Amino acid sequence: GSAMAAVRDVAIDPEGTFKYILVRLQRPGGGGERRDIVRGTAAAEFHNHIFEKVNPEMEKLGYECKCLGGGKIDHNSKDKKIRVFGQSTGYGKADHSVTVEILKKVYTDYEITWSDDKK
């Protein structure tokens, strides 16, 4: 398969509340395949820390990355619930409804919701 297929849709912490970003991958020049991925971790104090880690990884695979916005994810693995909310100061608010659709591909047995709440 393509290198893009090898990129995971979602890489988030297994538990807790943390910042996340929605990232669009595409081939340089804008032609061909493109897709959106979700990345989030409590290790990142700011949203751009996540992007600064993802971007070089994806460039190595031959993709251009664009951050579509950010927010927060509340991941409750015990109750199998994920809540997507908030926004990024630097990148603006991601389209949380898009994020939820991507999360549902991976966390198929979860209840996943989103809101524009700040916290």
Question: One of 47, 49, 75, 96 is an active-site residue; which one?
Answer: 47
Q: Is 96 a catalytic residue?
A: no
How far CA 14 is from CA of 4, 42, 43, 50, 78, in Å, comes to 23, 10, 12, 16, 10
105 known ligand binder = no
**Separation between Cα atoms, residue 77 and residue 7, nearest integer Å:** 23
Which are the catalytic amino acids?
47
Residues at the binding site for substrate are: 19
Residues at the binding site are: 19
